[in-house]
Structure 1
């Protein structure tokens, strides 16, 4: 490992910012769907379920590929931090399960009560999610850069992508690039193979633009 290039995990911040944007907009997006609008409900509920899948894939890849290596390679005094990450993941996962269950109920009913219940769970998720992302950026990313190789880090990112379909990978790329700073876009470009970037970036950008347009048509609360 000493002869290998070490990880540069700053691309994680771009992924986190995309999650902040999407989950932060979610309560108003959900509340903006008219009661009884089955088509609009299906679009926005589908978006909610997709974002649950994205975040779950992101976290389980860390569980499988990052925490074990940090436990093995970091000093013993880092163990409490990793335990905190585990607890936060478990808590957020429970909230994601509640969000997904509510989203499926709402998609089936297009009912105002189910809609409002989903919006409430989405709102409740935000403080623990923001706290977790900030702690990870402050404390975990420096450890990744110090203790994981570039190869190991890219394998972790690929494991996360590998849990979703190819089309959704492209949509995720378009989502991450939308609103990204120039520096974040540069880091995302460095994180993916050149062929994926050159072919995937225009496709992902188009897919996400179309996705935003569908959300805007479905909800008065869409500003994405």
Structure 2
């Protein structure tokens, strides 16, 4: 057992579950969104494509932060028999990244010319991405977060969160937070906001809920997708 494990209480990692809820929901719905765009409807295709690009961008920055700030520390600290779990996480990230690169090439072309064949190809890619991402998130929550709770310091965990938040475009901050709040445990959301000044703690949840409701109605046709 490492010195870190013996000197600190278990880290609260529930913030990761809140973030994952955003990815699970929006990627589960992604293929259906693309299929629902009528062939030739450039306006709707652009709207859906912009939404999906935002989710993919947040996911990319989330994974990049883990690749740079989390996996190396775990590999340095966990016992040798647990290292394959971390290697699995890295391999799954590579699989997800491969699909994101493919989608990144297909999505803009489909948005400009939303033909049926291109829409089907893109929607199928999103279905594959959701399947692979869900498998990865399940494994991370079940097998990696317990290691994180024992081996990562609060300061290191905060740095990981800061890196992920810094990857969100400022104009979308309220919306992305609203996306996380929608299915996130309220007590965990409150913990995420706790270090912020009082005005931020009061305003961000209100702005987030409002932004997500408006966005969900426009994209999903429902405030409760």
Q: TM-score by structure 1 length?
A: 0.90
Range with greater deviation from structure 2 (162-171 or 42-51)? 162-171
Confirm whether residue 189 of structure 1 aligns to residue 190 of structure 2. yes
2:181 matches 1:201 = no
Contact 1:4 1:150 in 2 (8 A): no
Cα root mean square deviation, aligned: 1.9
8 Å Cα contact 2:17-2:141 kept in structure 1: yes
**Runs of 4+ off more than 6 Å:** none
1:1-224 matched pairs, under 5 angstroms: 6-180=10-184, 184-192=185-193, 193-195=195-197, 196-216=200-220, 224=225
Aligned-residue offset at 1:4: 5.5
Structure 2 unmatched ranges of 5 or more: none
Q: Verify the 8 A CA contact 1:9 1:145 in the aligned structure 2.
A: yes
How far apart are the structure 1 equivalents of 2:192 and 2:181? 13
Cα displacement (A) at 1:223 = 6.5
- The runs of 5 or more residues in structure 1 that have no matched partner are none
**Does the C-alpha gap of structure 1 residues 146 and 133 become closer, same or farther in structure 2, counting only changes over 3 Å?**
same
Q: Which has the higher contact order (CA 8 A, sep 6+)?
A: 1
What is the number of residues matched between the two proteins? 218
Judge which range, 137-146 or 196-205, deviates more: 196-205
Q: Is the contact between residue 48 and residue 100 of structure 1 (CA under 8 Å) also seen in structure 2?
A: no
Q: Distance in 2 between matches of 1:68 and 1:14?
A: 23
For the 8 Å contact 1:170–1:203, the answer to whether it is kept is yes
SS at match of 1:194: coil
CA drift at 1:162: 0.5
1:190: Cα distance to partner?
0.5
Cα offset for 1:185?
A: 2.0
User: Distance between the aligned counterparts of 1:41 and 1:215, measured in 2?
Assistant: 11
Distance in 2, matches of 1:190 and 1:167, equals 23
